[in-house]
Amino acid sequence: MEIFLDIDGVILDFESSFIAHIRNNHIPELPKDYLPKSWEMDEEFSQIRIKEVWDEFVSIDSFSELKLLVDQTSFNQLSSQYALHLITNIPKSLFSKRVKNLKSHALNFTSLEIGGHFNFGDEDYPVKSVVINKIRDHRKKIVFLDDHPTNCYDVKSRFPDSIVFLMSRPHNQNQKDHHWIRVANWMDFLEKLKEIS
Ligand SMILES: [Mg+2]
């Protein structure tokens, strides 16, 4: 098998840094333990212009200094056993910042690709199943992990034989589970992976 991993909400903690940025610069009263309940940031933060704040955040150093949600040792151990392909849903212009962020954590992986359900207005932007189809080894079973149900649905529909995992996050708690396996965190993913391999 070979493994395809999402980055934000799975490997890197975008949310915490982004919310800290909002608190420090725009909404000082935002509680320290605030957790977003929705994917739609403009619903969460209707009092600010969220698109502008997002653009502001990705332009500063903090965006390439996101913290890990995985532990580096087990991640690199997994990458010594299987091909690990990372597919990240960011604008193409932010690719080098993402590389810098991953390098700073000394993570080993096979490839880094851009793709996802949100296309940032770029009509050539691929969904994740298109990226997987392009880079996959057809002899190997696909294992996929993402925290966005739309990406999980995309991959499972295109590759019915794949094994798809949804990383549980506050904003997908109420999502009805389809043909994927919900995991609580990185360690839970590793354990469930062991059971199927
Ligand atoms: Mg994600």
pLDDT greater than 90 at residue 128: yes
Compute the distance from residue 32 Cα to the ligand 1 centre, in Å. Answer: 22
pLDDT tens digits, 151-179: 999 999 999 999 999 999 988 988 887 88
Compute the distance from residue 109 Cα to the ligand 1 centre, in Å. Answer: 17
Q: What is the mean pLDDT of the chain?
A: 94
Predicted pLDDT at 173: 86
Compute the distance from residue 103 Cα to the ligand 1 centre, in Å. Answer: 19
Of 17-21, 31-35, 86-90, 109-113, the one with minimum mean pLDDT is 31-35
Ion ligand 1 — residues with CB under 5 Å?
A: 6, 8-9, 147
Compute the distance from residue 134 Cα to the ligand 1 centre, in Å. Answer: 20
Cβ atoms of 195 and 80 within 8 Å: the answer is no
Domains of the chain in start order, with CATH, are: 2-13+66-196 (3.40.50.1000), 15-64 (no CATH)
Q: CA 95 to CA 195: how far, in whole Å? A: 34
Compute the distance from residue 10 Cα to the ligand 1 centre, in Å. Answer: 6
pLDDT greater than 80 at residue 118: yes
Q: CA 148 to CA 172: how far, in whole Å? A: 7
